[in-house]
Amino acid sequence: MNPFNYINLRKLRADAERLQMIDKENKQLLKSINTINRTIGKIDSYNPEAYASKSKWHAHVMRMKRIDRKNKAIYEKLMAATSSYDCESLRKFWTSIIEKLKLTSKFPLVILQKVSVDSVIAKQPSISCGLEKLSERPRCFLEFQVLNGPVLGRVEIELYHDHVPVTVQNFLSICCGENKQNLSYKNCPINRIVPGRFLETGDITKGTGRGGVSIYGKYFAEEGHMLKHTKPGVLSMVRVRKHDNNSRFCITFTKMEQLDMQNVVFGYIVRGAENLFKIEGYGRSIGKPLAPVIISDCGKLNRALEC
Digit-by-digit pLDDT tens for the chain (307 residues) are: 566 666 777 888 888 999 999 999 999 999 988 888 887 766 667 776 666 666 788 888 899 999 999 999 999 999 998 877 788 888 899 899 988 988 888 888 877 777 888 888 888 877 776 677 777 899 999 999 999 999 999 999 999 998 999 999 999 999 998 888 899 999 999 999 999 999 999 999 999 999 999 999 999 999 988 899 999 999 999 999 888 999 999 999 999 999 998 999 999 999 999 999 999 999 999 999 999 999 999 999 986 444 4
All structural domains of the chain with their residue ranges: 117-300
DSSP annotation of 111 reads: G
* Pair 253, 117: CB distance under 8 Å: no
Distance from C-alpha of 249 to C-alpha of 174, rounded to nearest angstrom: 12
First and final C-alpha spacing in the chain: 116
Phi, psi angles (nearest 5°) of residue 257: -65, -25
Distance from C-alpha of 183 to C-alpha of 191, rounded to nearest angstrom: 18
Phi-psi region of 249 (alpha: psi -120 to 50; beta: other; left: phi over 0): beta
pTM of the predicted protein model: 0.65
Handedness of CA 296, 301, 302, 305 (dihedral sign): negative
Distance from C-alpha of 279 to C-alpha of 269, rounded to nearest angstrom: 14
297 burial class (0-12, 13-18, 19+ CB within 10 angstroms)? middle
Cα-based distances in Å from 47 to 36, 44, 50, 54: 21, 9, 6, 16
Residue (of 265, 273, 285, 294) closest to 197 by Cα position:
285
**117-300: CATH architecture:** Beta Barrel (2.40)
Phi, psi angles (nearest 5°) of residue 278: -65, -40
| One-letter amino acid of 133 | K
